[in-house]
Amino acid sequence: MITVNLRPNLKRKRARSPLAGFGESFRGLGGRVKDPLLLVAVVSWVGVAGFLGYVFASTTRELSALEPQLEQTRAEHKRFKAFLAEKRHQETIRDSLVAQIGVIRRVDGDRYVWPHLLDEVTKALPAYTWLVDLGMAAPTPAPQAAAQPAAKDAKKAAADTAAPAPPVHLPVSFTVNGRTVDIQAYTRFLRQLEASPWVADVTPVSAQTVIEKERPVTAFTIRATYRQADSAYVRTVPLSQSVR
């Protein structure tokens, strides 16, 4: 193909690239900016703004993803809060019942002592043996209380006076006075008392022959202590029964 230049005095213009204008503008901007620190500051602010925009967008996206978990956690919190409130209510009722049972046990602790003792002594009493007296014996002082020092420190005495010790429930001790016409019945009575789950520390105090109604009999005195038997030996009956 033959090309003829009809204007020989004019030079042929080359096709320009679309990026040439941007490059020239950038070079012109670099020429117009006299302070390089200002350019660095502007670029830095642009980078910071872009980073903050990215952080905001990612945080918003994560928050939107965590909204269902937050609602589920709130529902679980309400459910467990109601459960804990019910549990505390039940514990309050339980503590109240335990306190009431404790008060009843303290009130009824010594109510049936002598019925148990009379029942056990009656069961252990052999033939040809009878009782003359059964009563409470004087409590034996504890060794610690009997052997107290003669002199006490003033501060210790003042503290003891200000804060008295709680009362100590001493075991119930009793004595049995009886008569028998057979010395073997007396020893059998001792063994049967010792075998009772409600009686402990059976100790023969005295045994001597006396004359009653012109007949020689053995007068004896026995000392023992009441103890609470195991629950296996406790038999309960209803307070009232219908009679037809």
- What confidence tens digit (pLDDT) does each residue in 98-150 have? 999 888 877 766 677 888 889 899 999 999 899 999 888 876 555 454 445 54
Pick left, alpha or beta for residue 180 (phi over 0 → left; psi -120 to 50 → alpha; otherwise beta).
beta
pLDDT band, residue 89 (cuts 50/70/90): very high
Over the stretch 6-54, which tens digit does the pLDDT of each residue have?
666 655 555 555 555 555 665 655 555 566 777 778 788 888 888 898 8
Residue 116 corresponds to which amino acid?
A: H
Least confident of 61-75, 163-177, 182-196: 163-177
What is the rounded CA–CA span in Å between residue 204 and residue 198?
Answer: 17
What is the rounded CA–CA span in Å between residue 165 and residue 232?
Answer: 34
User: Across all residues in the chain, what is the average pLDDT?
Assistant: 77
Q: Is the pLDDT at 61 greater than 80, yes or no?
A: yes
Other beta carbons within 10 Å of 10: 8
What is the rounded CA–CA span in Å between residue 220 and residue 203?
Answer: 11
**Helical ranges in 20-35 per DSSP H:** 20-32
Higher pLDDT, 103 or 4: 103
Angle between helices 113-124 and 183-194 (to 10 degrees): 140
Quote the pLDDT of residue 165.
44
Over the stretch 148-185, which tens digit does the pLDDT of each residue have?
554 445 445 444 544 444 444 457 889 999 999 988 99
Give, in order, the Cα–Cα distances in Å from 8 to each of 1, 3, 5, 14.
19, 12, 6, 16
Quote the pLDDT of residue 70.
85
Please choose, from the candidates 198, 145, 192, the residue with its C-alpha nearest in 3D space to the C-alpha of residue 174.
198
CA 185 to the chain's CA centroid = 53
